[in-house]
Chains A and B, each alone.
Chain A
Amino acid sequence: EPEVTQTPSHQVTQMGQEVILRCVPISNHLYFYWYRQILGQKVEFLVSFYNNEISEKSEIFDDQFSVERPDGSNFTLKIRSTKLEDSAMYFCASSVDTYNEQFFGPGTRLTVL
């Protein structure tokens, strides 16, 4: 069964460093999303992406964040200068359209020291 994959599973970085989190959405899906979950808190929406553009973003998704689909399969989230409060589990999701289920990847645990 097709699934969303994410790499790495765990990333440790120093405060102020740039990180890139990678996702491979399900192949026939057209809509892509990033969410994050700080330990013990709710899953929070960051950004949605369709047709090589951001469709919607939350107030969390400030200038430190960017997304890109560099080729036909990968979808990336870049954090330019990480802060301690960026430590969280980051989930990528994809859907075939906006009417159907979003399928989530296993997540990347980001730890900022």
Chain B
Amino acid sequence: KQEVTQIPAALSVPEGENLVLNCSFTDSAIYNLQWFRQDPGKGLTSLLLIQSSQREQTSGRLNASLDKSSGRSTLYIAASQPGDSATYLCAVGKNGNQFYFGTGTSLTVIP
């Protein structure tokens, strides 16, 4: 069974700093990988989707990379803002039908 781990569990940074969130997975035979943010008590907001054939995807200040062979993905956030404070979840797609989620990284951006 696919196991997804996110490190660190929590991160606190000053506003304006660039940061990297890490996601690792045990089975490299993935279909795709999606990053989400989750605000307290709320649903999941899609940030980026990377197909298994891709190496990276960019959206605004966010850049996600994928290295299937090493079982890793990173989410890079440039010039962090207080509004970026949330829990970031990595979800690894098995076959297009289901995701395996990590436990998330709780990010706090200090003004």
The answer to whether B98 and A45 have CB atoms under 8 Å apart is yes
CA distance A103 to B44 in the complex (A): 8
Which residues in B have their C-beta under 8 angstroms from that of A45?
98-100
CA distance A99 to B99 in the complex (A): 12
CB distance from A93 to the nearest CB of B (A): 8
The answer to whether B42 and A106 have CB atoms under 8 Å apart is yes
**Which chain B residues (46-84) contact chain A, with CB distance < 8 Å?**
46, 49, 51
The size class of the interface chain A forms with chain B is 20 to 34
CB distance from A16 to the nearest CB of B (A): 27
| Bitwise interface map of A from 69 to 113 toward B, beta carbon under 8 Å scored 1, else 0 | 000000000000000000000010100011111111111000000
Q: Which residue from chain A places its CB closest to the CB of B103 in the assembled complex?
A: A42
The answer to whether B46 and A104 have CB atoms under 8 Å apart is yes
Total cross-chain contacts (CB, 8 A): 55
Which residues in A have their C-beta under 8 angstroms from that of B46?
101-104
A15 within 8 A of B: no
A44 within 8 A of B: yes
CA distance A14 to B3 in the complex (A): 34
Contact partner of B96 (CB less than 8 A), chosen from A58, A91, A98, A107, is: A98
Which residues in B have their C-beta under 8 angstroms from that of A33?
97-98
Which residues in A have their C-beta under 8 angstroms from that of B36?
104
CA distance A107 to B103 in the complex (A): 18
CB distance from A1 to the nearest CB of B (A): 11
The answer to whether B49 and A100 have CB atoms under 8 Å apart is yes
| Bitwise interface map of B from 83 to 108 toward A, beta carbon under 8 Å scored 1, else 0 | 00000010100011111111110000
Which residues in B have their C-beta under 8 angstroms from that of A31?
97
A101 touching B101 in the complex, CB below 8 Å, given contacts A43-B44, A91-B43, A106-B42: no
B24 within 8 A of A: no
CA distance A35 to B36 in the complex (A): 14
The answer to whether A55 and B97 have CB atoms under 8 Å apart is yes
State the A residues within 8 Å of B (CB).
Answer: 31, 33, 35, 41-45, 48, 55-56, 58, 91, 93, 97-107
